[in-house]
Amino acid sequence: MLIFFILLCAVLLLVYLATVLNDNEKIIHVEHSNFRDILVCESRLERYMRFSRKGSSKQTRMLLSATGLLIVNYNKMMLGALYLNPRPSKILMIGLGGGTLATAVSSIFPEIDIDIVEIDQAVINVATKYFNFKQNSRIHIYEKDGRAFVRNARACDAAYDMIMLDAYDDQYIPGHMMTMEFLLELKRILTPDGVLSANTWKSSPLYDSESVTYEAVFGTFFNLLKTNRVILAKNNGLPDFETILNNAELVEPKLATVGTGVSFLLPLFSVRQNWNLNAEVLTDQTSALISY
């Protein structure tokens, strides 16, 4: 009887999930996780990841006909970090998703070391089986909470030229990875010329507080806006725009191979403060009160 009930629940879950997908979409795999079930879906042109909750957005997208091209705007925006530091030798990525960004960075910089932190083994499994993510001697993945990894890295005197922060749970960025204390921890493991590239949401109710929190730690930052918002901050202050242009020209041939470049990125670079400057800075004490 218990087995029948479990099977019935599984069938009902799949029927429900099918109703929230478009008619031309299909689920090709469900990966069970301690955090949430992960759906791998396909339409006629692309494959993508969803989390098993009502209204879940696409978490990773990959063209079936050109798997090496980035098609998600925020992935392209995060590579704008190369305009601040065009020659990274060691990169930290917090949050794997389908691994498309990691694969793109590895393809344009095959000689650099990339450490990837992902808390959910199920995400790693899906990225490997369905999105062409591959580990190698230069790509190292750690199944761990991002903040715990950063604290350990600091204790070990690790240093990164670039940190790409793209950690999300079912709702938003985990609260303990939004605070001033966490950003200070990130800043301390950046090299003197190091860059932080952080993916957030343009429409987040925490937009103002996020902004003043990043300002409190890094000072002025570049604010790239589409549907997502990508923050580009630098350990020793932002370069002038002439340097940005020179760096953009330097990395343009590399970025073109993964589907982005100057025409998309440069118009997005802005330091305009379009937030409430009196908003509350997010701290470890207030993070438990964060609601979405």
Query: What is the percent of the chain where pLDDT is above 90?
Result: 80
Q: pLDDT tens-digit profile of 257-279?
A: 999 999 999 999 999 999 999 99
The answer, yes or no, to whether residue 17 has pLDDT greater than 50, is no
| Paired sense of beta strands 90-94 and 113-117, if any | parallel
User: CATH number, domain at 152?
Assistant: 3.40.50.150
* Burial 181-206, CB ≥16 within 10 A → b, else e: ebbebbbebbbeebbbbbbbbeebeb
Q: Which domain holds residue 13?
A: 2-63
Residue 211 belongs to some domain of the structure: yes
**Residue listed under structure tokens 């692309």:** 46
Q: Is residue 160 situated within a structural domain?
A: yes
- For residue 169, the surrounding DSSP H or E stretch is none
Instruction: Look at residue 15 in the predicted model and tell me its pLDDT.
Output: 37
Q: 41 near 23, Cβ under 8 Å?
A: no
Which residue is associated with the tokens 């042109």?
Answer: 45
Residue 166 and residue 78 in contact, taking contact as beta carbons nearer than 8 Å: yes
- The pLDDT tens digits of the residues spanning 43-79 come to 999 999 988 654 457 889 999 999 999 999 999 999 9
- Tell me if residue 170 is catalytic: no
Cα–chain-centroid distance for residue 265? 17
Contacts for 206 with CB less than 8 Å, ≥ 6 apart = 172, 178, 282, 290, 292
Residues 56 and 77 in one domain: no
CA angle, 270 then 249 then 258, to 5°: 85
Number of domains the chain contains: 2
172 — pLDDT class (breaks 50, 70, 90): confident
Same domain, 81 and 202: yes
Q: Which residue has the tokens 């750690």?
A: 142
pTM over 0.85: yes
Residue 36: its pLDDT value, please? 84
Average pLDDT of the chain is: 89
292: pLDDT strictly greater than 80: no
How many Å apart are CA 119 and CA 163, to the nearest integer? Answer: 17
Residues 200 and 239 occupy one common structural domain: yes
Q: What mean pLDDT do residues 203-213 have?
A: 96
Which of 89-98, 185-194, 279-288 is least confident? Answer: 279-288
Of 168, 136, 199, 230, the closest CA to residue 38 belongs to 168
Asked if residue 9 is part of any domain, the answer here is: yes
Q: Which of these is catalytic: 23, 115, 166, 169?
A: 166
